[in-house]
Amino acid sequence: MDASVIPIDTQMIGLDLVTSAYLLRGDEPALVETGPTTSSVPVTEGLDRLGIGPADLAHVVVTHIHLDHAGGVGTLAKRYPGATIWVHERGAPHMVDPTRLVSSTARVYGEETTRAYFGDVEPVPAGRVRAVGDGDVIPLGGRSLDVVYTPGHASHHVALVDSQTGGVFVGDALGIHLPDVKVLRPATPPPDVDVEVAVRSVERIRERARSVLFLSHYGEVPEVDAMCDLSIVRIRGWADVVSAALRSSKELDEIARLLEERGTADTLEDVGPGADMTRYDMLSSYEVNAAGLIRYWRKRWEREAQAANASTP
């Protein structure tokens, strides 16, 4: 680990090694990802331990606005009044007014889980937010982060290339890979997962990574090519399972079960029998992943049907 990038365990849902924030040392200390609001105490304590007090944090940067990555931004913005908040332009409005973000999260996870996992989401004052897009550079004093637009998992997802280490903060673009389990599982939640767009984003990340990948779930991965290859195989494999099931008119719960069979085979392939996948299931259930891929195929088939109609004379 380069000592200029330091992981801070957000202890999301009280669990170790599920969701990471990262402190980037430098003239203008920056936090990449915050975890949910319910993680603001562990994150604040982590920053305190690293010598970053309320007046010191200069930037908060998020890969995307899903609440396990950015839900805590509003709360931390109060604690660190000098910090500028950087987020993709499609996500920025939802940082300022999180109402729709919270209600769409509740549609995916249910009201109860949403409240338990993420807590109350506080808005960020508009004047603190800087919206960024592909190719922008976020200056952090002596180092910077290049913004690479990487939709697929979410339409407002970016990866961030660190000038100092050559590492890339990849958010959820490659999926979930917890360091004590070492299984890679796709993350395909509704509403905007797009498989082929996600594959292109993985290739963009591969091109830009000069050293390691920093996953939000969780930690540093030096095997860039192997991880990128596997993530493409996995997301396409999962998408194929759902496509085949939809063609034979299966319903959500049955499709989730088929995806679980596939996930179990993936787990065996990665680490053999006996892996404890509980934290993966809590973070990203088969049902949520199935719902995302069902929506993806239905939208895609509709698009293709419209295009076919349009081209018929």
Q: Which residues bind Zn ion (CB under 5 A)?
A: 66, 172
The C-alpha atoms of residue 197 and residue 299 are separated, in whole angstroms, by 14
Considering the complex, state which of residue 105 and residue 165 has its C-beta at the smaller distance from Zn ion: 105
Beta-carbon contacts of 113 under 8 Å, excluding residues fewer than 6 positions away, are none
CB of 137 to Zn ion, least distance (A): 24
**What is the per-residue DSSP string for 39-89?**
GHHHHHHHHHHTT--TTT--EEE-S---HHHHTTHHHHHHHSTTPEEEEET
Considering the complex, state which of residue 136 and residue 172 has its C-beta at the smaller distance from Zn ion: 172
Considering the complex, state which of residue 32 and residue 140 has its C-beta at the smaller distance from Zn ion: 32
Considering the complex, state which of residue 172 and residue 287 has its C-beta at the smaller distance from Zn ion: 172
Tell me the CA distances in angstroms from 247 to 197, 242, 291, 294, one per residue in order: 22, 9, 15, 11
Tell me the CA distances in angstroms from 211 to 6, 20, 114, 164, one per residue in order: 15, 19, 35, 10
The C-alpha atoms of residue 128 and residue 23 are separated, in whole angstroms, by 19
CB of 312 to Zn ion, least distance (A): 38
CB of 52 to Zn ion, least distance (A): 25
CB of 91 to Zn ion, least distance (A): 11
Tell me the CA distances in angstroms from 164 to 21, 39, 65, 211, one per residue in order: 18, 27, 25, 10
CB of 104 to Zn ion, least distance (A): 12
CB of 225 to Zn ion, least distance (A): 23
Which position's Cβ is nearest Zn ion? 66
Q: 129-132 and 137-140 as β-strands: parallel, antiparallel, unpaired?
A: unpaired
Q: 59-61 and 30-32 as β-strands: parallel, antiparallel, unpaired?
A: parallel
Considering the complex, state which of residue 52 and residue 60 has its C-beta at the smaller distance from Zn ion: 60
Considering the complex, state which of residue 29 and residue 151 has its C-beta at the smaller distance from Zn ion: 151
